[in-house]
């Protein structure tokens, strides 16, 4: 993208300072002219004379930051500024680091030594009885579930599945939503039709579409992802469409079009960078949304098959047992992981979108 939007973001110089610069420049020009021989116009050299000049007379100009700064160059970069702003937010900084650690751990967990398998049913080696509902202990850190599977391993396996679903759904929302939104906003003929279609679809509660698609397709990771993707792109497309309509006919686009820029390039280079903030927010919120939807679908009986560990399934398994106080850990551990991940994504998404908004850049 066009990274250097320096014109608008340079700190304003005070008038006197500017004036000083101009005066200095004029004086320097004057001195130059004096050195050339008292106001006489220097005559041009012929090419032979130039070739005959001694190279030792010349030296490469060295980069001087202060000097460069003086002629309106700024090393402002959009992304650097965005990350700087984001990094300044303490809560977001702490959350993103811990979120990365948790996610990295979730995906690397099977590689650590001494981990149990999430599916194996553990039996007591002496008696051969299933280790059902074992409270958290040194061997099984989160205890075992109702059929003797290791809850620690299941929680991380579930996190992997749920985060994977979230990422795929967010990515699909991003790609489908942005492409459709762009076309919808940019092409006037499509706009009318699409708006009508959107009005009809948006009338139906999204949860309902989600329920209906999952009900018809039956459980499985692919179908659950599909049903969430069917619902998810609409909000994004609508946002993008509104933004495109706002920026489409601004002067800079008009100029660009007059210069013969192709439509695709206008979309990608002129329009898309304006919407980074909105797009990032929507994408970041799609992940906790998808995790929440998965929990919801499982709760109403349309989730993944129970053999598949996912945060939704684990929460649902824990819910069944929650009335027994000593088994409550089976609800609390997966719920805590789900809560941490969703809240972290939510807050990070909001913080990043604030930081990505050029209005908040200095």
Partner 1 sequence: MLGYIVKRTLGAIASLFIVITLIFLLLRMMPMEGYFGAEYDKLSEETRASLLAEKGLDKPILVQLVDFYKNLLKGDLGKSWIYRPNYPIVKILESKIPYSLKIGLISMAFSLVAGIPLGAMMACFKGKLGDKIGTAFIAIVEALPTAVLMLFVQLYFSSWFKLSLLFDKNRPSTWILPILSISLLSICTYAMWMRRYMIDNINMDYVKLARAKGVRSSRLMFRHIFKNAFVPMAQFLPGSVLSTIIGSIYVEHLYSIPGTGGLLIDVIQRQDNTMVQTLVLLYAAIGIIGMFLGDILMAVLDPRIRFVKKGDDR
Binding test (CB under 8 A) with partner 1, winner from 123, 299, 306, 360: 299
> With binding defined as CB under 8 A, does residue 215 bind partner 1?
yes
- Closest to partner 1 by CB, 62 vs 249, is 249
CB of 45 to partner 1, least distance (A): 58
291 binds partner 1 (CB under 8 A): yes
Q: What phi and psi, each to the nearest 5 degrees, are found at residue 130?
A: -60, 140
User: Please, which residue, 148 or 232, has the CB nearer to partner 1?
Assistant: 232
Closest CB 118 distance from partner 1, rounded Å:
21
Quick one: 224 or 347, whose CB is closer to partner 1? 347
| Least distance between partner 1 and beta carbon 155 (Å) | 14
216 forms part of the interface with partner 1 (CB under 8 A): yes
| Number of chain positions touching partner 1 (CB under 8 A) | 42
**Exposure string for 150-169, b = 16+ CB within 10 A, e = fewer:** bbbbbbbbbbbbbbebbebb
Site string for partner 1, 228-267 (x = CB under 8 A): -----------------x--xx------------------
Binding residues for partner 1 restricted to 314-343, rule: CB under 8 A: 315, 319, 322-323, 328, 331, 335, 338-339, 342-343
347 contributes a contact to partner 1 by CB under 8 A: yes
Q: Considering only residues 173-192, where is the footprint of partner 1 by CB under 8 A?
A: 192
Q: Which is nearer to partner 1, 13 or 328 (CB)?
A: 328
First and final C-alpha spacing in the chain = 19
Q: For residue 342, with 0-12 CB atoms within 10 Å meaning exposed, 13-18 middle and 19 or more buried, which class applies?
A: buried
**Which is closer to partner 1, CB of 76 or CB of 346?**
346
Q: Kindly tell me which of 143 and 288 has the beta carbon lying closer to partner 1.
A: 288
Cβ-based nearer residue to partner 1, 14 or 325: 325
Closest separation in Å from C-beta 50 to partner 1: 57
Of 10-18, 197-205, 256-264, 273-281, the window that binds partner 1 (rule: CB under 8 A) is 197-205
Tell me which of 10, 19, 135, 301 binds partner 1, using CB under 8 A: 301
Output phi, psi for 59, to 5 deg.
-140, 150
CB of 323: closest distance to partner 1 in angstroms? 7
Q: Bridge-partner residues for 177, per DSSP?
A: none
Cβ 318 to partner 1 shortest distance, Å? 8
Question: Which of these ranges, 122-130, 153-161, 255-263, 294-302, lies near partner 1 under the rule CB under 8 A?
Answer: 294-302
Q: Which residues of 299-319 are buried (b: 16+ CB within 10 A; e: fewer)?
A: eeebbbeeebbbbbbbbbbbe
Give the nearer residue to partner 1 in terms of CB position, either 86 or 345: 345
Binding residues for partner 1, rule: CB under 8 A, are: 192, 195, 199-200, 202-205, 207-208, 211-212, 215-216, 218, 245, 248-249, 288, 291-292, 295-296, 299-302, 315, 319, 322-323, 328, 331, 335, 338-339, 342-343, 345-347, 350
């Amino acid at each position: 993208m066009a990274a250097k939007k320096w014109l608008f973001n340079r700190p304003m110089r005070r008038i006197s300072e500017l004036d000083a610069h101009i005066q200095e420049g004029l004086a320097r020009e004057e001195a130059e002219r004096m050195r050339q021989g008292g106001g006489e116009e220097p005559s041009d050299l012929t090419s032979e004379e130039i070739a005959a000049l001694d190279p030792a007379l010349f030296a490469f100009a060295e980069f001087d930051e202060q000097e460069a700064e003086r002629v309106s160059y700024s090393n402002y970069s959009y992304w650097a500024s965005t990350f700087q702003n984001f990094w300044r937010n303490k809560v977001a900084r702490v959350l993103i680091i811990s979120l990365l650690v948790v996610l990295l751990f979730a995906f690397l967990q099977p590689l650590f030594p001494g981990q149990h398998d999430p599916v194996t049913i553990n039996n007591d080696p002496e008696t051969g009885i299933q280790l059902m509902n074992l409270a958290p202990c040194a061997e099984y850190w989160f205890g075992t579930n109702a059929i003797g599977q290791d809850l620690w391993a299941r929680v991380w396996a579930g996190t992997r599945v749920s985060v994977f679903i979230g990422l795929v759904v967010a990515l699909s929302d991003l790609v489908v939503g942005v492409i459709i939104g762009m076309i919808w906003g940019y092409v006037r003929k499509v706009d009318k039709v699409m708006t009508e279609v959107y009005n009809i679809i948006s009338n139906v509660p999204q949860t309902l579409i989600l329920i209906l698609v999952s009900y018809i397709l039956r459980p499985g990771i692919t179908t659950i992802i599909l049903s969430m993707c069917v619902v998810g792109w609409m909000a994004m497309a609508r946002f993008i469409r509104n933004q495109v309509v706002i920026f489409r006919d601004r002067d800079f686009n008009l100029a660009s079009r007059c210069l013969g820029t192709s439509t695709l390039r206008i979309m990608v280079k002129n329009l898309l960078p304006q919407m980074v903030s909105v797009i990032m927010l929507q994408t970041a919120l799609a992940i906790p949304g998808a995790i929440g939807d998965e929990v919801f679908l499982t709760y109403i009986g349309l989730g993944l098959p129970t053999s598949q560990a996912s945060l939704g399934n684990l929460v649902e398994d824990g819910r069944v047992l929650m009335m027994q106080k000593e088994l409550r850990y089976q609800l609390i551990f997966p719920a805590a992981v789900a809560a941490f991940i969703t809240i972290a994504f939510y807050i990070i998404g909001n913080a990043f979108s604030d930081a990505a908004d050029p209005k908040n850049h200095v």
